[in-house]
Chains A and B, each alone.
Chain A
Amino acid sequence: MSISPLALGVLGLLGVGFYALVVSKNLIRTLIALQILVKSAVLGLLLAGTLSGKLQLAQSLAVTAIVADTVVAVVGMAFAVQIRRRMGTLDLRDLAQLRG
């Protein structure tokens, strides 16, 4: 069974997104990592739809995923801007109030 380059793309983007999510300390960089992860998920959805012959269902789910992802990004950016204004930093370690 040959592996589709699209499947490799899904896995590659997933890896890059996870790495960025784990490593990033800046709030906006975390949002960018989330965007990459969701893009990989949408590509995976459409690939699965093509393979199973249910591309229309996959498309409607992909549209929902894109909308939800955009809203998450917008709310995250609003958080980032307000946090920067009130606390003067975007570093996630500085923002953590719990010390242990």
Chain B
Amino acid sequence: MTAVLVGAAILAAIMATRAARLLSSALWLAAVSALLSVLFFDLGAPQVAVIELSVGAGLVTVLFIFAINLAGEAGKPPAAVVPAWLAAGIAVLVPVLLAALAAFEAVATPAEPGPAFAEMLWQQRGLDVLVQIVLIFAGVLGLLGLLAEVEAPLGRSAVKEVVARREQDLLALESAARKEEVRV
């Protein structure tokens, strides 16, 4: 069961990187997230599973689709600068080296079960919660950037801008009136 889920997650990740359209890439990423959240639940981490499912598969996917909508699909298919063999070599080498590193380390001895998740998060890792709050604030600012208008801010203040436009309009009206007089 676990092996099937893991295989499906890796397959979905490969599809996410190889899909021709960005939109299907984002949807495959959501599939990876959903499969991983089942794995997390299986591991005995239901809180993380819920957060992964709601944030990873829900919020991030919606944001990706929103951003792809705004930014548009990629026009031409990307031509890699890094040769494919080098990229594949890096992609294989890094996990293998990490696995070797982990294999040489002694498997940690199971400790006695620690405090509950809530106590661990809110009391022992309270600093992490503060960091999360700051990060969420940064995320809100990022969303504002996502939604911001393209126009550069006005050089002058808005009031001066309005006054200047009024004066221009008045000048135009006066010159028009003068032309009328001349014609009469």
Contacts and interface: CB of A to CB of B under 8 A. Distances in A.
Query: Do A and B interact?
Result: yes
Interface of A: 1, 4-20, 22-26, 28-29, 31-33, 35-36, 39, 42-43, 46-64, 66-68, 70-71, 73-75, 77-82, 84-86, 90-91, 93
A77 B132 CA distance: 19
A93 B80 CA distance: 10
Nearest to B26: A32
Given A56-B117, A67-B136, 13 more contacts: A6-B39, A12-B10, A23-B80, A29-B25, A32-B17, A36-B32, A39-B36, A52-B111, A56-B114, A63-B47, A63-B48, A71-B136, A91-B74
A47 B39 CA distance: 10
A77 B63 contact: yes
Contacts of B163: none
B95 A85 contact: no
B135 A93 contact: no
Contacts, number: 249
B47 A59 contact: yes
A23 to B, nearest CB: 5
B145 A59 contact: no
A9 B120 contact: no
B6 A6 contact: yes
A32 B16 contact: yes
Given A5-B6, A29-B22, A39-B33, A81 B81 contact: no
| Chain B interface residue number, banded | 35 or more
B91 A22 contact: yes
Contact of B9 (A13, A68, A78, A82): A13
Contacts of A79: 145
Given A5-B6, A77-B63, A79-B145, A51 B44 contact: no
B9 A80 contact: no
B51 interface: yes
Contacts of B43: 6, 46-47, 50, 55
Nearest first, the 5 closest Cβ-Cβ pairs linking A and B are A19-B91, A78-B145, A9-B6, A53-B110, A52-B108
A19 B90 contact: yes
B155 interface: no
Contact of A84 (B71, B114, B115): B71
Contact of A63 (B9, B26, B121, B146): B121
